[in-house]
Structure 1
Amino acid sequence: MDNRTEVREFLVSRRAKISPEQAGLPAGPNRRVPGLRRSEVASLAGVSVEYYSKLERGSLAGVSPSVLNAVARALQLDDAERAHLSDLARAADGSSTLTRPRPRRRTARQWSVRPSLQWALDAVTQGPAFVRNGRMDLLAANRLARAFYAEVYAQPQRPANIARHTFLDEKSHRFYPDWDIAADLCVAILRTEAGRDPHDRDLHDLVGELSTRSDEFRRRWGAHNVRHHGTGAKNFRHHIVGDLTLAYEGLEMVAEPGLTLTIYTAEPGSPSEDALRLLGSWAASQETAAHARDARTE
């Protein structure tokens, strides 16, 4: 992905989202651009119009952290957007002067689950637990997660990919009752990963595939929205057990930079907890049936 284009489109999209009133500036007549003008952002950031215009053309190489912070304040960036801007600057700079460098991410084809990690996942028996990368590949999972994402695993491509399922499989519209929210989140995670690792060829290929095959993805990708995805709650409609509302916690894995361990849980005593219990029973029966089929073919 071209860094200068990414920088330019990100800054322009953030500037367009801030109204003069939100920035404490008079709106004035005859405004030709949505949001703030370049001159207004430059004034708020305490830099010259010429310098800010250079930044917005994509020239972030060598920019100081103090200038990045000033631009972030002027554009009222949230924590995820600030981190994304720093990632873009790091990619442009080609050094570790802005922040501590991130270890290089390995592709899904190079990564295999350690036995101890699989044991840890299998020890989680009350909810789906899985490991994913920033491309939304499902790399490891416990029994409940495999059952929960059964329709994702049913797709022929490997590794199974949540983003591909979301945008290319009609079943995802049933699985996510709030499909637009899920789609927005999915693209924001991919866009965040693109800033962190702009040289990830597998991510380039995935974005290219989804952009070609899905208008919904292409429109969202062009919005340049990013976000951190650490905790919250989601609604699902599983094809076996029906509606669930699950809380989730996403944990960055210290031993595996770039990977996230996510655990879904249901409120104790809730219908969703009953649904997860039913899903566990269904998953166990499916495994038993599979073992029986394997035994007959031996």
Structure 2
Amino acid sequence: MGHAEDEITPFLKARRAALDAAALGLPNGLARRRVRGLRREEVAQLAGVSVDYYTRIEQGRAHAVSDAVVDAIARALRLTPDEHTYLRNITQARRRPGADADVCDAGRGPRPRVRPQIQELLDAMEDTVPAIVYGPGMDMLAWNRIAGRISFDFDALPEAELNSARLIFLHPEAKALHPEWEREAEATVASVRAQIGRREDESRVRRVVCDLREESEEFRHYWDAQAVRERSRGTKRILNPEVGELVLTYEAFALPTDPGQHLCTYTAPKGSATEMGLRALAERVGASVF
């Protein structure tokens, strides 16, 4: 998984296969289609590039794909905005020095540090809002006390396991804590894939993927589906062992001066069962009452 073409090839093939040629007004031709989706020739035609050039792009052999060509391919394949960004990231990665290097042995450096001011912000929200700072590859870098007890007990985990993706796929209690585990697993993998190709410590993201592909058959299943989706907001159900079910709304905010870091907050409507559960949890962990 360490080479850029390892991302480009399966992604473009999967997106071609996901399209219905008839719905796009494309004929079957003289012979019936042997596989579903669009042929390379059809994608090239829709994108306005030669078949040979598109083939080289799909095979990861084109080293200088322009943004205009990427945009044309994205339109031809009906990519979502997140998929379009991902395609641009992985094709641009081919232009950078070291793009051909295998990075599965990289990404083991020290974890990024969270600025003291950000930790102060987390602590200031402690009696009202559970919050976590995530780094590249979904590493959990910092949190306030109540956030550390929403699901897994973060303080009891070794540093190497303080990673949301690893916890979802490798922790023995993950499926008990997450009643919608399949949805959580798919969203986690789609979010990790969206980080591939970015400049902010990409080696750490690829390291996480390499490890999980090796250690989890379920991760490999979701990874091979090629889903891409930024995870900036949504809801999450958790069966907390101390206070019961929590239905949380989360929002993720990029920290502009700390590349690759995101602050994620978890809230619940006033008067809801989840808010009462959070109040009880806050009392248990010693935070101030809401």
TM range (shorter): 0.7 to 0.9
Q: Which of 162, 167, 170 is 2:169 aligned to?
A: 167
Paired residue total: 275
CA distance in 2, matches of 1:199, 1:58: 22
Question: Cα 1:108–1:266, aligned 2, differ >3 Å: closer, same or farther?
Answer: farther
Which range moved further: 50-59 or 196-205? 196-205
- TM-score, length basis structure 1: 0.85
- Range moving further from structure 2, 116-125 or 143-152: 143-152
Query: CA 1:111–1:134 in structure 2 vs 1: closer, same or farther (change >3 Å)?
Result: closer
Helix, strand or coil for the counterpart of 1:284?
Answer: coil
**Aligned 1:1-298 pairs, distance under 5 A:** 1-27=2-28, 30-94=32-96, 109-124=110-125, 125-158=127-160, 160-197=162-199, 200-284=202-286
Equivalent residues of 1:210, 1:218 under 8 A apart: yes
Could you tell me how far 1:85 is from its partner in structure 2?
A: 0.7
Measure, in 2, the Cα distance between the counterparts of 1:209 and 1:13: 23
CA distance in 1 between counterparts of 2:164 and 2:111 reads 19
Give the stretch that moved more between structures: 137-146 or 57-66: 57-66
Give the residue type in structure 2 aligned to 1:129.
A
Q: Note the residue ranges of structure 2 that are not aligned, 5 or more in a row.
A: 98-106
> Per-residue deviation at 1:153?
4.3
More helix as a share of residues: 1
Q: Which moved more, 1:126-135 or 1:108-117?
A: 108-117
Tell me if structure 1 keeps the 8 A contact 2:138–2:165: yes
TM-score using structure 2 length: 0.88
- 252-261 or 232-241, which deviates more: 232-241
**Cα distance in 1, alignment partners of residues 153 and 66 from structure 2:** 47
In 1: Cα distance, 2:164 partner to 2:143 partner: 13
- Tell which has more relative contact order, 1 or 2 (C-alpha 8 A, sep 6+): 2
The one-letter code sitting in structure 2 at the alignment partner of 1:122 is D
More deviation, 19-28/212-221 = 19-28
SS in 2 for 1:158: helix
Cα gap change, 1:24 to 1:239, in 2 (>3 Å): farther
